[in-house]
Structure 1
Amino acid sequence: LDLDFPLVDGTNGVRSIPAAIIAEAARLVIYDLSNPARPLPVRTNQVGSATTLVSSIARAGAQEYAVGTSGGVVILSRPAMGGLNPLDGALVTTIPGLPMQGRTFGAGEAFDSAAYGGIARISVRPPHIRVVQVPPMPVVPIDSLLQSNREARVSFVGAARESRFLLPIPLERCGNGGGELGGGAPPNPLFNYYPMVQMHGTFGPEIYVALESTDIAGRLNPPRGRDEVPVLLSNAGASSGFGSQLAPVQALRLRRLSDDPTDELFNVYLGSPFVIVLQPLSSREKGVVASVPGRQAVWGGDFMRVSLDPAPNGSPALAPYLSTTALLEYRANLSKTYRSIRGEYLDSRNPSFARATPRVAGVNLQSGEFSHSESDLFVEGRGQDLNLTRVYQSQSRYVGPFGRGWDFNYNARILEFPDQEVPAGYQWCLLDRGDAQDQAAPCDALLIDGVGSVQLFRCIHPGDPTAGEVMRDPAVNQFLGVGGTNRVSRFYHSPPGVFSVLYKLSDGKFMLVMPDGSRVHFLPDGRLDRMVGIFSRSVVECGYGADGRLRTVTGDRGVRFEFGYYRRFSDPDFLAPDVSSSRVVEMGRVARVRVSPITANVGDVSFTYDADGNLERAIPAGGAPLVHKWSQQDLHEMVAVGRTDGTQPPGQVIKYVDGMVAAVQQETTSLIFGGAKATARERYAAGNGTVTVAVGAAPPATYAVDQRGRATSHANRPFEADDQGRPTHVAAASSDAHLTYDDANPVYRFRGNVVATSEGKGPFITGTRYDQSAWNRAIALTNVNGDVRLLDYSLAGDYRSAGEVIESTGPVTTHRRHNEYGQPEHESLDDAGGGLPLLRDFSYGSGGLGPDGGLQTARQLAGIAGATTSRDTRGRVHAFSESGLGYTVGYNSDGQPLSMTDLSG
């Protein structure tokens, strides 16, 4: 029992509750006893693997719990146990092998005790590992500190402070040379951390500590590559199999602060500082890190784990506490874990408006970035399709499940900027636009959409006069219930040009509402949870394994994508779709994705990687592989993509100069590009200008762009876009249209609506009115002839069940009845002017995959003629008939049409 347990709510506030902490296998479940008659489970903390058994729990000091398990003792932070987010990191210290799993168990700050099997055992707490800052003191290497007098060393240790959150160096993407890595100012003590171990000085004059960057499940992140910042600082990198994929690193060396056994410093070991970084380091920046002797950089993870490095390390008496290595695995023993921030997807330094920038052959003309997308698997859905799409961006910096540069749509995620335990003024510079900078500050959130875009949602603070434009959105009460604002713990301002809105809910989860009312939900740790269509029965849901990796994506017909990864066969998380491998470059990469059950002509696609961990081949079952080739000068640059050898159709060979595309060869056609700028700051400074593309020896085509990279002409005709990236003036050979948006709407999400278009050279004007509902539906559309099309949703309901939409234009009225997925069930057309009625009926499988795959069999009546189209269980057109005529379609094993047979055979 813990009668004043600290429980964190959705606003990061803390309230005390009477709680019971109950062991359930490898979990501790916190029950709220505020109503003793109905205990309510409010939090769950994992304390081991699936085979771990908890046998005892004991309070160990004011803010810790010690837990005896079948694998040893773990120490949990009491405040973090009550957090909403798995990233709060309750488990802070692991002491494997310590025989303290008895039913009777006691813990203190110096000793642990247990009784079991008629034996009582008392054990001294092992070495105390800590990571500390020393804010009042300048950053110094350990050798310099040892050369100082004893008073200076005592003062230094006395000023050291420990936090459960390790702060990375602020992301600096503005290129102004400032900040911690700029080299123009002394190192900042706030971002330099010292490893400290308190233990008896007889263990030796020096010891070595390893530092790991770990994922949400507390596992070492896969090595990022020889050209990248390391994820592991250890002397055992090579022996664990990581040598070829780690830059030269070593464990953190700690020195004993006194050689006098009577001195209190005799029992304190301290090392040179380290820094946590979130972006690749240039050669100059690596030199800045090394300017403090012994200082090293490590890649930011969800957690940072410190442990005693494997032998040889200190005296033999340390052996029970040392970590070990095996092939492709670093096994931490005695360890301490801290929360941090993971390094994430970094967008181009010159990103473009999606609808306002010229692109040719995958090349963004104003930034010189090469973009390439591949759709690996597609399965038609009832309301939403399943479509696995990978996207490569040459100027992004990301190493993910598909290797360098690639992201994918089901990897959409949110990275929440911390708002606790960060110093005042801490912020990230994401982009320098020339006249302004995009700065992420505490409590902001980054939406990384998985298809090449990073969007900054700014936290709305109390008292913000513009908060109402998000709070009064009808989506709040529609999707969260009456009084929905009480379920929202945080509102955000959307980035310019993005008319989706983000909410953080009181349970720690996130909800992104799109302009059409469809929703994307994210877990408290930011991972994609599910996508809900306009019709709430249409849900695409993600499932994750114990290691936090995406395992399944299940569509609204019950069809699912199953993800397999390259792993060691002995990995406890090895499952059926996984592929056994001993290549370190493949570890954690996606090996295959399969469809289950097999539907249409798709079954699975597999992936292979080159010696640097870059995606080499995407191989569809029964199809030709798509081959990718990579530069050896910059491992992030893809230089060829195509069939067979990477150049066969549809093939492209890409040449870069200073990170920008200079030329693309497509079969026999050569495209030459000019005018791109590497950064948004350079583009702004250049003012209005031109970008070009030439086909072979032909004169180049010229596109005019402004200082934001927006096109100001297209095909030699005027084109304009506003500061939201919305096209406002589009000209063609026979028209010159100006677009007007609903900028005055009190609801922000509706301001992306086009409400009128007008002809610049003539009288026409069109208009659109919307219903101001959560779904933002058009209710009246006026065309250039003045005809008005009206849509009535009064019988459509709230899109949770079947309904009907009535559309009328003059004397013609159309009734469209839909099912709970939004699929049409019946259409009828009535013409008061005397025309023939049109009737169509659609039928579907009762659910999931039968008997017609959840898709449709359609019947159409037009006058006395009738037509019926049917699909098979895989969703393919199987038969068609009309007025006694028709045919059936036969398919081969790959799902390709093989024959068509008429009704006579």
Structure 2
Amino acid sequence: MSYYIYKNNSSLWERTAQTDTQYFSLPLDVAVGDVIDFMVGDYYYFGNTPLHVTITTPETDPLLLATLGRQPWCHFFGDPVNVVNGNYTYDQTDLSIPTPGKPLQFTRFYNSRDTYAGPLGKGWQHNYNTFLTPNQDNSIAVYYPDGHTFVFTPGGEGYTRPPGCFETLDKNPDGTFTLTCKDQTKYLYNAEGKLARILDKNNNAITLQYDNTLLTAVTEPAGRSLQFTYDQDNHLTQITDPAGRTIVFTYENGNLATVQDLNGGITTYTYTSAGLAAITDPNGHTVAANTYDHQSRVIEQTDGKSNRTIFAYDPDNRKTTITDARGNTTTFYYDEKFRVTTIEHPDGTTNVYTYDDNHNQTSETDQNGHTTTYTYDPMGNQLTKTDPAPFNYVTTTTYDNQNNPTRIVDASGNAVDMTYDTDGNLQTVTRAVYGGVAITSFTYNDFGQVTSITNPNGKTTTITYDQYGNRESITDPLGNKTTYTYDILGRKLTETTPRGNVPGANPADFTWTYTYDENGNVLTVTDPLGHVTTNTYDLKGNRTSVTDPRNNTTTFTYDENDRLSALTNALNQTTTYTYDASGNLASVTDPKGRITTY
């Protein structure tokens, strides 16, 4: 098949594709606002009527871009859907390995209103796929892993953050950038805007490696890595962890189609032109099914039990009406900044919210008319909370320049004081007690892990760690020592109680052992006497049975939404559970048929 673009009757571009779904980039001399003729076939010999197309830009409304993902000032309903912009959001952590600092993990994020198409296909991003780009006005757009975007504008000697953002962006002398979060985590971007490293407050580094534009490896401080593999379309096809386990991704028409987890279970994703239409879990259950309007807003959502929720948007009047599976209608009213100001419930009662310029919630009036108010510092830290009248109790909190709380005073005047080291690790907690003060103190290793805790009575517990940051031993104030071993993924293999750690003891006589499936679920627990407890799981990771050392088995079954529906004990006595359309527990029926309703 041949494809052509004409502008002012002149041929700009042509390509021959092997399939109808092959994608191409537009020529550089096509600009926003241009009207072009797009042709399929041969313009001269087949006489096809051209399709007139006006070039437009992707969504650039900073308010919408800021409310992709799950911002704290946004409200959600269902599985979940942003009640203001109709954006369907979804996230899934495919693996996570503990380290001395940030975990070595991989998390995917989907936003139905995100036009970005990257290594996981349209609408998808992952936790290492954060980047920044300069704009023509010298502002910098930072694209966050969950899909939202914040635009930093030039101001003074640096950049001014937008409302609702509490990160600080700095340009370094070598042209790189540093984004510092409230918790002092730093994201370091190279001169091309790609994420290069992640540093926690103790300078534990997650390092990213690239082959040209593609992320190929992510390495934690002790040297363990995730390896990334791609297809010819630059779609991510496989992640390999330090133990050789793999997560496998497949695609259809450029969309993420399936994900095979570490245990071989497959989750399937299907789409319409507007967005992600359905998610089917490894057990074959549909987790959520969405219907969208032409703006990629969810207008109908169906859960695994076929319960339907309807969304009706009225942006002219700044309200969204949602009807749940039981026919109950809830209306959300919002302001010009996409912040929900009133929720009108089915019974006519309301919740009312107000906000400051940084989108912090400054007051909340509940359905009984009781109002709680809040104040904040410029970094979004809550300074005061005032309870509803007539008591008006006030809780106050102060912070240091790293956003750590240093003093909390409750409504009765009781104070708790905290101090920190230069890295922001908690050193002391001081409380007033009768006749004096009670102080708890902490010490740390170079990785920021607690190595000792001294209680107010001066008694100390000590902790040691292995090279991967796993807790290796705990010794209580009496000298009783418990020890642990782990595999390369940080899963506990053995636990030896204090009696096995005294001189002359045989540790094996006092050791518990553990085994796991590929998803990290505990398969067996063996006590020091060799007695084994065994667990089984379904493809979703729900525990389906537990068999004790005497071979007594309890089984568990689940509904389409992974909620416990039946429990059968070793005597074959069954307790069943039902749920209402909102997912709340509705009834429990015991083995004698007695029903408790909720």
TM normalised by structure 2 equals 0.74
Shift of 1:753: 1.8
Match among 653, 656, 676 for residue 289 of structure 2? 653
User: Are 1:809 and 2:427 counterparts?
Assistant: no
Which residue number corresponds to residue 497 of structure 1? Answer: 164
**Equivalent-residue separation in structure 2 for 1:807 and 1:754 (angstroms):** 20
TM-aligned CA deviation for residue 505 of structure 1: 1.3
Whether 2:233 is the aligned partner of 1:619: answer no
Q: 1:813 to 1:391 in 2, by over 3 A?
A: same
Task: Note closer, same or farther for the CA distance 1:870–1:710 as it changes in structure 2 (3 Å cut).
Answer: same
1:606 aligned partner: 248
Equivalent position to 2:357, from 723, 730, 746: 723
Gaps of 5+ in 2: 1-5, 44-49, 501-509, 531-598
Q: Among 735, 747, 760, which residue is 2:388 paired with? A: 760
Determine the C-alpha separation between the residues in 2 that align with 1:866 and 1:625.
46
Q: 1:899 to 1:548 in 2, by over 3 A?
A: same
Q: Counterpart in 2 of 1:543?
A: 209
What SS does the aligned partner of 2:384 have?
strand
* Mapped contact 2:428–2:440 kept (Cα < 8 A): yes
Structure 1 residue 245: Cα displacement: 1.6
> Which protein has the larger Cα radius of gyration, Structure 1 or Structure 2?
1
- The answer (yes or no) to whether the contact 2:249–2:256 under 8 Å persists in 1 is yes
Shift of 1:497: 0.9
Query: Given that residues 208 and 217 in structure 2 are in contact (C-alpha distance below 8 angstroms), is that contact kept between their aligned partners in structure 1?
Result: yes
- The counterpart of 2:149, out of the listed 446, 450, 454, is 454
Conserved in 1, the CA contact under 8 Å of 2:312 and 2:322? no
Aligned residues of 1:843 and 1:856 also touching (Cα < 8 A): yes
Cα offset, 1:819, TM superposition? 1.2
Question: Where does residue 403 of structure 2 map in the other structure?
Answer: 776
Contact 1:731 1:737 in 2 (8 A): yes
Relative to structure 2, which stretch is displaced further, 614-623 or 696-705? 696-705
2:29 to 253, 274, 298: 274
Match of 1:640 in 2: 278
Give the deviation of 1:703 after TM superposition. Answer: 3.2
Correspondence for 2:547: none
What do residues 623-666 of structure 1 show as CA deviations (whole Å, max 9, x unaligned)? Answer: 311100011xx1x5111012259x615x1111112332111111
1:358 to 72, 75, 84: 75
TM-superposed CA distance for 1:500, in Å, is 0.8
The 2-side partners of 1:380 and 1:346 are apart by 38
Alignment correspondent of 1:289: 36
SS in 1 for 2:128: helix
What pairs with 1:482-493 in structure 2 (closer than 5 Å)?
Answer: 491-493=158-160
The CA distance in 2 between the partners of 1:345 and 1:867, in whole Å, is 58
Q: Which residue of 2 aligns with 1:709?
A: 338
Q: Which amino acid aligns with 2:206?
A: V
Distance 2:65 2:169 in 1: 25
Match of 2:225 in 1: 560
After superposition, what is the alpha-carbon deviation per residue over 1:414-440, rounded to whole angstroms, capped at 9, x for unaligned?
A: 01124xxxxxxxxxxxxxxxxxxxxxx
C-alpha distance after superposition, 1:71-90 (max 9, x if no partner): xxxxxxxxxxxxxxxxxxxx
CA contact 1:347–1:395 (8 Å) conserved in 2: no
Residue 349 of structure 1, CA deviation: 4.7
Cα 1:245–1:607 change in 2 (3 A) is same
Tell me the CA shift for residue 760 of structure 1.
Answer: 2.6
User: 8 Å contact 2:229–2:236 — kept in the other structure?
Assistant: yes
Distance 1:710 1:244, change over 3 A: closer
**Mapped pair 1:686 → 2:317:** yes
CA contact (8 A) 1:289 1:296 kept: yes
Give 1:448 shift: 0.6
Q: How far 1:884 sits from its partner (Å)? A: 4.2
1:499 match: secondary structure = coil
- Give the aligned partner of residue 674 of structure 1: 311
**Partner residue in 1 for 2:14:** 234
State the Cα deviation string for residues 369-411 of structure 1 (Å, max 9, x = none): 1111121221112111122111111111121111111111211
2-structure distance, mates of 1:396, 1:248: 19
Equivalence for 1:215: none
1:267 is matched with: none
Matched, 1:590 2:236: yes
**Quick check: 2:130–2:144 contact (8 Å CA) kept in 1?**
yes
Q: Distance in 2 between matches of 1:903 and 1:404?
A: 52
- Tell me if structure 2 keeps the 8 A contact 1:544–1:550: yes
Q: 1:785 aligns to what?
A: 412
Q: State the secondary structure of the residue aligned to 1:384.
A: coil
1:829 CA drift (Å): 0.5
How far the C-alpha of 1:898 sits from its partner, in A, is 2.6
CA distance in 1, matches of 2:215, 2:60: 17
| SS of alignment partner, residue 322 of structure 2 | strand
The residue number in structure 2 matching 1:742 is 377
Superposed CA deviations along residues 78-112 of structure 1, whole A, max 9, x for unmatched, are xxxxxxxxxxxxxxxxxxxxxxxxxxxxxxxxxxx
Hey, what does 1:260 align to over in structure 2?
none
1:140 offset after TM fit, Å?
Answer: 8.9
Partner of 2:122: 404
Stretch moving more, 718-727 or 366-375: 718-727
TM-score for the superposition, normalised by structure 1: 0.50
Q: How much identity, in percent, do the aligned residues show?
A: 20
- What is the deviation of 1:892? 4.0
Q: 1:367 to 1:297 in 2, by over 3 A?
A: closer
Equivalent of 2:110, from 378, 388, 392?
A: 392
Instruction: Say if 1:889 and 1:900, in contact at 8 Å, map to a contact too.
Output: yes
Q: In the superposition, relative to structure 1, how do residues 728 and 675 fare at CA in structure 2: closer, same or farther (>3 Å)?
A: farther
2:36 is paired with a residue whose SS is helix
Q: How many residues align?
A: 489
What's 2:506 paired with?
A: none
> 2:528 is matched by which residue type in structure 1?
L
Compared CA separation, residues 593 and 296, structure 1 to 2 (3 A): farther
Residues 298/620 of structure 1: CA separation in 2 closer, same or farther (3 Å cut): farther
Is 2:428–2:442's contact at 8 Å kept on the other side of the alignment?
yes
Q: 1:347 to 1:617 in 2, by over 3 A?
A: farther
Distance (whole Å) between structure 2 residues aligned to residue 703 and residue 413 of structure 1: 33
